[in-house]
Amino acid sequence: MIKSILKYLFSTLLAASLLYWAFSKSQLEWDDIYQTLLHANYRWVTVAIVISLVSHWLRALRWEQLLDSLNYQPGQVRTFSAVLIGYFANFIVPRMGEVSRCGSLQKTADIPFEKSFGTVITERIVDLLGLVVLVGITFLVEWKPIQSFLFPHTDTPPLTLIMGLIILGLIGLITLWFTKDFIIAKWEVLSKSSKVGQILSGWIDGIISIKDVKRPGLFLIYTVAIWVAYFLNAYTLLLAFPSSENLGFSAALSILVMGTFGMATPTQGGIGAYHSLVASTLFFYQIPMKEATALATFFHGTQMATILLFGGISFILTLFLPKKLSSVNSQ
C-alpha cells in the first residue's frame, strides 16, 4: 500500500514538475491558454474528437480478435467500454490502464484476468512495432530538418555502432536457440508447480493468441487504421488554428511520434512530457515557443477531456451491464 502511494506521489510530482518546466521555459500564462481556446476552430476540434473515438473503437475491434482466438466473445459494447476505462484509468494512475481494462472484462464478461492481460501485452508489442515503423517513416520524410536540428554535426550513425548492435543481436538469438530445450523444460516445471507460474502461463497464452487470430489480414488492417486515425487526429488539430493550419502532413507525423513518446511517460496521461515534447516539435516548425506550448496544452486537454467524459460514461455503464458468460466457461 505504501509502495503504491509513493509511486503515485512520484508520478504526480514528475507530472507537475514537467508541466511547470514546459510552462516556465515558454513564459506561458493562463491568459495565453484562454486566447487559444477563443481562437480555435471547433469544427475541426469536433472532427478530431470523433476520429479519436473511432481509433479507440478500432482498438476494441482488434482486441476482440485476440480474445476470440482464445474462444472469448465479450461483445463490442463491453470491449469498447473496457478500452475507454483503460484510458480513463491512465489519466488517474499511470500504467493502470492495462489492469483496469482487463479487470473490466473480468467483471462484465467473466474473462480470466491473466488471459486478457496477455492479449493486452500482445497489443502493446504490436503497437511498439507500429511506432518503430512510424519513427522510421518520420525520419525518412523529415530527415534533413531533423538532422539539422538534433544532429547538426552528424551525417549517419558510425558503422562500428551499427555492426556492434547487429552482432549483439545475433549472439542473443544464437544463445536462445541453443538453450531453448533447457528453457522450455524449466518453464514447464514452473508453470505447473507454482501460482506465479500459472499466472505467467495465462499471460503467455494471451500473448501468443496472435498466432490463432482467425483473420490476420483484418488484424493488420485494424492496426494500420488505428495509426492512421491517430495521424488524422493530430492533423485535424493542426487545422484548428491559424498558426498551424499550413504546417502539413509531415508536421502532423512528427507531432504524432513525439506525442506518443510523451503519453508513454510514467505520468498521469503523459501530463508534462507531452506538453514539452509537442511544444518543442511545434517550435521546430517555426511556431513561437509560447504559442507552441499553448497549442500543445490544448491538444492534450482535448484528449484528456474526451477520455474523462467517455471513459467515465463507460465506467458507469459497466455497473449496469449484466455479466456475459464467456463461451469457454459456458460450454
- pTM score, whole prediction: 0.79
pLDDT at 154: 52
Cell of 14: 514528475
Give yes or no for a contact between 51 and 236, defined as CB atoms under 8 angstroms apart: yes
Phi, psi at 156, each rounded to 5°: -145, 160
Q: Is the model's pLDDT at 135 over the cut of 70?
A: yes
Write down the pLDDT at residue 208. 66
What residue ranges in 180-268 does DSSP mark as E strands? none
Q: Is the pLDDT of residue 163 over 80?
A: no
Q: Mean pLDDT across the stretch 293-307?
A: 92
Count of structural domains, the chain: 1
| Span of 85-89, 269-273, 303-307 with lowest mean pLDDT | 269-273
Whole-number percent of the chain with pLDDT over 90: 26
Name residues whose C-beta falls within 8 Å of residue 42's C-beta, 6 or more positions apart in sequence. Answer: 240
**Rounded average pLDDT over 201-210:** 63
Domain that holds residue 154: 2-330
* pLDDT value of position 78: 92
What is the C-alpha separation between 173 and 178, in angstroms, rounded?
Answer: 9
Q: What does the DSSP 8-state code read for residue 179?
A: T
Share of the chain above pLDDT 70, in %: 81
Q: Is the pLDDT of residue 329 over 50?
A: no
> How high is the pLDDT of residue 207?
64
